[in-house]
A and B are shown apart, each in its own frame.
Chain A
């Protein structure tokens, strides 16, 4: 296992389209986090899973955003009816319950 992987690395989409990103955490990690980073800002928390349960969801996530982790392993983040303001780097991280989290390289979304 080489770490947290995210797919795709880059995504360009037209406004109004739906997009889905995938995150594969480190295999023994039961906790998985999604963050979003926009230009000039630090990463902002979006949502958190412990195993397959979504335990916390930020108010930043509108109804157009949904995240799943169906078997407690990989996770998907879907954005419906994308808007230009959704353009950002979407980061996934995983941990085994210690404070340290390991990040993937992120998916950079550009909405045109």
Chain B
């Protein structure tokens, strides 16, 4: 059973603050690492898919980095806004395209 861990479990930040979360995963049999944002009552929304060690992806104020050798990925949010409040999930694909193992998520609350 793969162990994908995310930290912190939850956090509260003030509007305008920057923040980051960690996703740790086994570095063996790595294929792809996904980040999703899951807002209440909505579908999980894909943010990034990263496949190469050293990958950095950016979408607006959100960016992510990947280190497959040591088995971690960071998600950064610059200048947090209330609409960033959501649960952020990372997911590891280690067996080709077939199945994905999710972490437990980091629940972010941005306080206006």
User: Which residues of A pack against B, CB within 8 Å?
Assistant: 3-4, 31, 33, 35, 40-45, 48, 55-56, 91, 95, 97-106
- Interface size range on B against A: 20 to 34
B44 touching A48, Cβ below 8 Å = no
Chain B residues in contact with chain A, CB under 8 A? 4, 6, 31-32, 34, 36, 41-46, 49, 51, 89, 91, 93, 97-105
> Total contacts A to B, CB within 8 angstroms?
58
- Chain A residues contacting B32 (CB-CB under 8 Å) are 99
Contact of B49 among A3, A42, A99 (CB under 8 A): A99
Determine whether the beta carbon of B103 is less than 8 Å from that of A42. yes
**Complex contact A103–B101 (CB within 8 A):** no
CA distance A105 to B104 in the complex (A): 18
Give the residues in chain A near B99, CB-CB below 8 Å: 33, 45, 48, 56
Residue of A nearest to B32 (CB): A99
A40, A101, A103: residue with the most chain B Cβ atoms closer than 10 Å: A101
